């Protein structure tokens, strides 16, 4: 096989969830049917690497010192929502109902994750809460995943904030909209029953 093709197949496999077969399908699709798309992807990767960095306040990805949300004077400074990833943040933003600030952990905390010294989301969160621009925060909304790791992360953060005058809340657990009870897992139904209103 030609060297550049081998290199392309190998590089595509560095994408999460892409194995040898997907990589080969992707490479041949791009080369045969979508060279413009391939060029666009190469450019977007190069530009993304050069321009995207972490927002100095909330740590989401941005191309400026502060991301658009942190720089927006209209957002509610008393609410701070803690999430795991910029993808989670984008999902919450799409709902259009949250008008507070964000803090993105960029991963999970706790024993299952192994963060390096620079990669410690909890420590960065504490620093954020001690900073002058966080003095208005009255409520921390923990919006980490409802998985074992996400729950552990939420628990660690709640522990670390004990004794401080910040209310700590968690997104409600319950039955997703559009679900028939029959197909919802038992743990979710139990939570929805306990938190009924």
Question: What does the binding site for a second copy look like in residue numbers (CB under 8 A)?
Answer: 1-5, 7-8, 10-12, 14-17, 21-22, 24-32, 34-35, 37-49, 51-52, 61-64, 67-68, 85-87, 90, 106-107
The distance of closest approach from Cβ of residue 140 to a second copy in the complex, given in angstroms and rounded to an integer, is: 23
From the CB of 125, what's the least distance to a second copy, in Å? Answer: 17
Contact 128/135 with Cβ under 8 angstroms?
A: no
12 versus 156: smaller Cβ distance to a second copy:
12
Residue 54 or 191: the one with the smaller Cβ distance to a second copy is 54
- Residue 8 or 79 having the CB closest to a second copy: 8
Closer of 54 and 170 to a second copy (Cβ) = 54
Burial of 2 (0-12, 13-18, 19+ CB in 10 A): exposed
* Rounded least distance, CB 182 to a second copy, Å: 26
**CB of 55 or CB of 154, closer to a second copy:** 55
Nearer to a second copy, 49 or 172 (CB): 49
What minimum distance in Å lies between the beta carbon of 58 and a second copy? 12
Q: Provide the minimum distance between the beta carbon of 23 and a second copy in the complex, in angstroms, as a whole number.
A: 10
Question: What span, in angstroms and rounded, lies between the C-alpha atoms of 171 and 81?
Answer: 10
Smallest gap from residue 79 Cβ to a second copy (A) = 20
């Amino acid at each position: 096989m030609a060297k550049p093709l081998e290199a392309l197949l190998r590089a595509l496999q560095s994408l999460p969830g892409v194995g040898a077969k997907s990589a080969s399908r992707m490479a041949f699709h791009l080369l045969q049917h979508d060279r413009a798309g391939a060029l666009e992807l190469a450019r977007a990767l190069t530009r993304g690497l050069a321009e995207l960095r972490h927002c100095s306040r909330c740590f989401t990805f941005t191309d400026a010192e502060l991301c658009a949300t942190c720089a927006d004077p209209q957002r509610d400074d008393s609410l701070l929502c803690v999430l795991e990833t910029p993808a989670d943040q984008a999902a919450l933003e799409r709902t259009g109902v949250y008008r507070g600030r964000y803090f993105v952990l960029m991963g999970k905390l706790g024993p299952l994750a192994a963060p390096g010294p620079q990669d410690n989301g909890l420590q960065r969160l504490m620093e954020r809460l001690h900073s002058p621009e966080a003095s208005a925060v009255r409520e921390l909304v923990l919006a980490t995943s409802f998985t074992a790791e996400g729950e552990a992360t939420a628990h660690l953060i709640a522990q670390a904030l004990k004794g401080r005058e910040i209310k700590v809340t968690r997104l409600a657990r319950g039955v997703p909209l559009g679900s028939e009870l029959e197909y919802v897992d038992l743990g979710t139904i139990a939570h929805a029953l306990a938190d009924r209103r």
